[in-house]
Structures are given as C-alpha cells and as structure tokens.
C-alpha cells in the first residue's frame, strides 16, 4: 500500500538516507523499505517503446493530490514532484508513463542536510577559485533529484591494428645529434566485459556531466519502490533506447581504445573493429544534487553524486591565479632552455 502521509500524525513522509527508510519529517515515525535485488538487466525487447516521448514531453500534466485533493502540476519531464499546496510528495501513476518504467533505484546516501557541507568541502579542493568566491560559497538550495539513466552491460570483442611512432636520437659521424623516426606495426585482439555503462537519458544533464560524477556503486542498486523517491524530484527519460545504446557502445569502444593505448606507447594510428554482444540494460534512477548559483552575473550549474559525493560542472576560475600558474610553468620550463642557450652561445 502506498504511504502518502504519516499514519500517526498526518505529516509529510520522505525517504531518509540516514534511516534507509521512509520517515515522517514531523514526528520521525519510520516506515521500513524492503530492499530487494531481484530485477536484473535484460535485452532491449522493444525499440519503439519511446516513440511517443516527444509528444509526452511537450506538455505539463495535472493530477489530484492524494493528500489534500488540490491539482498538482507536473512539469513536462517530472514523474515525481511535491504538491504545490500541501508540499507532500506526489508521484505520477507508473501506468500513465508512455514508455519504460523505472526498474532500479540507487537510493540517496548523502542526505539533504549533509549535502551542502559535502558540496562545499569538495568545491574548496578545486584549484584557481577566485578568493571572493571561496569565502562566500553558494548557499542556494540544492535540488535533490533522481536522474533517469539506462545502465548497460555488454561484451566487446575487437580486433585492432595500429602503428607506433618511435623516435630516437643518433649521433652522426661529425658528432651531431639527429632524431631518427621509425615505425612499428602491431595488431591483436582484445575482449572486455562491461557491467555498468551509464547513459544519462533525461534532459537534466548531458553525458559529459554524468561522466564527471561517476562512478555510482551499483552493488547498492535496488528494485524500484516508490518509497525511495518520496520527497525527491524525478525526471523521466528523454532519449530513445536505441540512442542510449549507441552512447553505451561508444563508451565501451572508448575504454577498449584506452586499454590498447596503455599497452602500446606512442601510438600514431589505431583502427579498432569491435563486435558487441550480449547487450542488456535496465532503467535505473540515480541520485544527484543540483546546485544553481551565479557568480559575477554568470549562471553556473553544478551537480553532485548523491551516493558517492563526486562533483561535476563548471566552477568560477580566477584569471589572475591561472595567469600566475602559467607564468610559473613557463618559468620552470623556460629556465633550462635559457641555460642551454646561454651555455651553447
């Protein structure tokens, strides 16, 4: 049975990361959650499921609040939001979703109270922050949101060939040094299993931004239960499963290429022919905090992993600090050259 309000005091209930349960924000009453890990990844059964998403995303929807009866407006991407009147959590009936339904959830681990401190301490470790920004870090509210993502697994078997460019210095008969370049050709096969290729599928952030806050620990991903998302914003996905699968393949291919590049030094050209097999996925909700702030009238959006704490997005940088840093590097690199020039001259 769905729990909309606290049964003892009528207060608002929210998922509490600290208690790993649904909790009344008013009296602290706890409603336990059954943590199940039965749903596994599966092949893509139907590529056309998302076909109606475009039309669906074009409009807002209204539902009657189960607590106060008022009409709750769901922003066109939201599938969970708070009632604008009584502020209790309101979820769209899953049967009304035009496409896939969430299958797994990684619950928030960093709670809303800790999120701000966690964010600040991580931001302060970043380089080149302007001093006035450091002293007065953004304290805007952090939006706690579950991101819709497709989590893929696949097996990649690839053949590759490439060329290494090897440079060496030789001394000629007159004692002068010269650089000799030679090439070495290589080829081989590589096989790799990927278990968690995360493809961000909502309109909230892009693939680069999600990559900047990875990894998530998928050993803590549980079968979807709406108790996990009570009190949080949840955005529906906005990308077809076919598009998402391409992103996952690209990610896998990129990692295969990196593995080859680690094996051979100075690669000058590389061709990889991958075959992907056993592609499976599931639709997982990932916890994230959004931090919006402006600095010197410029808007910034940052995002923080709500489970592991990694932060992503752009931060203000001090031009003076960067200039000083570059000058220092130039000085360190430049001095030996200056010595060589002076010694040689």
Closest CA to 296 of 282, 279, 317: 317
Instruction: Judge contact between 277 and 157, C-beta under 8 A.
Output: yes
Smallest distance, Zn ion to C-beta of residue 18, A: 16
Separation between Cα atoms, residue 115 and residue 310, nearest integer Å: 11
Smallest distance, Zn ion to C-beta of residue 305, A: 30
Contact letters for Zn ion, residues 69-98 (x by CB under 5 A): -x------------x-xx------------
Smallest distance, Zn ion to C-beta of residue 227, A: 15
Cis? peptide before 215, omega within 30° of 0: yes
With a CB cutoff of 8 Å and minimum separation 6, the contacts of 61 are 73, 74, 76, 92, 96
Nearer Cβ to Zn ion, position 86 or 270? 86
Nearer Cβ to Zn ion, position 4 or 239? 4
**Given candidates 4, 15, 22, 24, which one binds Zn ion under the rule CB under 5 A?**
24
User: Residue 165 phi/psi, 5° resolution?
Assistant: -105, 115
Element of type H or E holding 163: strand 142-171
Smallest distance, Zn ion to C-beta of residue 83, A: 3
Instruction: Give residues 113-172 in contact with Zn ion (rule: CB under 5 A).
Output: none
Contact letters for Zn ion, residues 52-71 (x by CB under 5 A): -------------x-xx-x-
Smallest distance, Zn ion to C-beta of residue 32, A: 15
Closest CA to 212 of 315, 312, 314: 312
Nearer Cβ to Zn ion, position 29 or 207? 29
Contact letters for Zn ion, residues 3-22 (x by CB under 5 A): ---x--x-x-----------
- How many other C-beta atoms can be found within 10 angstroms of the C-beta atom of residue 128? 14
Instruction: Judge contact between 73 and 211, C-beta under 8 A.
Output: no
Which phi-psi region, left, alpha or beta, contains residue 186 (left: φ > 0; alpha: ψ -120 to 50)?
beta
Which phi-psi region, left, alpha or beta, contains residue 248 (left: φ > 0; alpha: ψ -120 to 50)?
alpha
Q: Give the range of 2-10, 48-56, 128-136, 247-255 binding Zn ion by CB under 5 A.
A: 2-10
Q: Is the dihedral of CA 122, 250, 239, 230 positive or negative?
A: negative
Nearer Cβ to Zn ion, position 67 or 288? 67
Contact letters for Zn ion, residues 25-44 (x by CB under 5 A): -xx-x---------------
Separation between Cα atoms, residue 55 and residue 76, nearest integer Å: 10
How many residues form the binding site for Zn ion (CB under 5 A)?
14
Smallest distance, Zn ion to C-beta of residue 233, A: 16
Nearer Cβ to Zn ion, position 3 or 270? 3
Smallest distance, Zn ion to C-beta of residue 46, A: 35
Smallest distance, Zn ion to C-beta of residue 72, A: 6
Nearer Cβ to Zn ion, position 4 or 238? 4
Nearer Cβ to Zn ion, position 66 or 109? 66
Separation between Cα atoms, residue 76 and residue 324, nearest integer Å: 47
Determine the number of helices (DSSP H) and then strands (DSSP E) in the chain.
6, 15
Which residues contribute to the site for Zn ion (CB under 5 A)? 6, 9, 11, 24, 26-27, 29, 65, 67-68, 70, 83, 85-86
């Amino acid at each position: 049975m769905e729990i909309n309000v606290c049964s003892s005091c009528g207060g608002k209930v929210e998922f509490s990361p600290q208690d790993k349960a649904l909790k009344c924000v008013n009296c602290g009453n706890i409603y336990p959650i059954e943590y199940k890990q039965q749903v596994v990844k599966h092949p893509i059964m139907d590529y056309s499921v998302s076909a109606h998403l475009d039309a669906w995303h074009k409009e807002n929807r209204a539902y009657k609040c189960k607590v106060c009866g008022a009409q709750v407006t769901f922003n066109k991407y939201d599938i969970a939001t708070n009632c604008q009147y009584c502020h209790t959590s309101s979820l769209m009936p899953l049967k009304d979703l035009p496409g896939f339904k969430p299958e797994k959830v990684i619950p928030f681990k960093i709670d809303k109270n800790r999120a701000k401190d966690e964010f600040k301490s991580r931001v302060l470790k970043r380089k080149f922050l302007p001093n006035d920004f450091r002293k007065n870090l953004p304290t805007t509210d952090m939006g706690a949101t579950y991101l819709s993502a497709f989590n893929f697994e696949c097996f990649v078997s690839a053949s590759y060939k490439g060329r290494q460019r090897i440079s060496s210095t030789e001394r000629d008969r007159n004692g002068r040094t010269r650089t000799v370049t030679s090439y070495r050709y290589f080829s081989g096969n590589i096989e790799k299993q990927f278990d968690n290729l995360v493809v961000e599928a909502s309109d909230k952030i892009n693939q680069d931004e999600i990559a900047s806050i990875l990894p998530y620990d998928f050993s803590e991903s549980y079968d979807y239960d709406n108790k996990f998302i009570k009190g949080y914003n949840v955005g529906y996905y906005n990308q077809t499963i076919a598009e998402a699968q391409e992103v996952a393949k690209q990610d896998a291919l990129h990692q295969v290429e990196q593995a080859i590049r680690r094996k051979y030094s100075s690669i000058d050209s590389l061709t990889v022919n991958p075959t992907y097999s056993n592609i499976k996925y599931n639709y997982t909700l990932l916890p994230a905090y959004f931090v919006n702030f402006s600095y010197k009238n410029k808007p910034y959006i940052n995002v923080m992993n709500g489970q592991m704490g990694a932060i992503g997005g752009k931060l203000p940088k001090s031009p003076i600090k960067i200039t000083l840093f570059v000058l220092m590097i130039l000085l360190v690199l430049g001095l030996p050259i200056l010595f060589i020039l002076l010694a040689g001259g």
